[in-house]
Amino acid sequence: MITLENIDKHFNDLHVLKGTSLAVKEGGVTALIGPSGSGKSTLLRCVNLLEVPQSGRVRIDDAVIAFTPAGKVDRNAVLALRRKTGMVFQNFQLFPHLTAIENVMESLVTVLRRSREEARQRAMDLLEKVGMVEKAEAWPASLSGGQQQRVAIARALAPSPKVLLCDEPTSALDPELATEVVEVLAQLAREGTTMLMATHDLRLAATIASEVVFLDAGEIVEAGSASKVFRTPERNRTKQFISTLT
Ligand code: ADP
Ligand code: MG
């Protein structure tokens, strides 16, 4: 469904992703774990091409782009691929000048050219799904972090992406507020939403991930089913890292 093949990403002299390959199954949830600086955010950003890799292939569904150091990147292909993704950030990043429902409607109206009426209906359905209907007309600044993140999840889902990319979706939240976000993501997972998420939150990963990938210094050290990687990791490095998660 989603595959990354041999992705290389350099920032000048810094070689962040070193021929990284990864597959996410349709309807599955893959948790990307690894120390700070290991390249998790960069990897997620290479899926939606917020970062453009120097080499490798990115495939989502029927859209594929191959990158080569000398090759020119086809902007339309990048946009087509990006539209198959929805992204949830650590710090929510809601548009501050738009209400909760307007945040969710935004891409539907401006990118997908839906009527405001139709967009509003879809946004209401999504706010319902994340338990935020009562706050539809609220401004982001008046919402708790957990509420903002739930609106951000609804916004990411609005254009019906093939994959929901989440970058540390609970790390900016107190445990109590993280719980409401974990519950929303768990519900989406049960409904078969395909997700790839970077997280340090063991509870989040253990609750919803079907697959776990352990990334260290831009290389995949271990990957497999969540129960296998969490309970009986093969590599010492994985074992050691998992023991640091809380
Ligand atoms: P993680 O999300 O696992 O903490 P990141 O993907 O954010 O790791 O970062 C991996 C490495 O790439 C780090 O050393 C980071 O400083 C570096 N890096 C990330 N983004 C950029 C950038 N835009 N320019 C330069 N270096 C970057
Ligand atoms: Mg990160």
- Give pLDDT, residue 208: 94
Tell me the whole-structure pTM to 2 decimals: 0.95
Atom of ligand 1 nearest to the CA of 167: 2
**What mean pLDDT comes out for the span 80-102?**
96
Pocket test for ligand 1, best of 14, 15, 196 (most atoms within 8 A of CB): 14
Atom 14, ligand 1: residue with shortest CA distance: 37
Structure tokens at 182: 């974990």
Residues in the chain: 246
State yes or no: pLDDT of 39 exceeds 80. yes
- 68: helix, strand or coil: coil
ipTM exceeding cut-off 0.85 for this assembly: yes
- Residue-level pLDDT at 73: 87
Residue 33: what residue type?
I
In sequence order, which residues have a C-beta less than 8 Å from that of residue 241 and are 6 or more positions away? Answer: 33, 34, 35, 214, 216
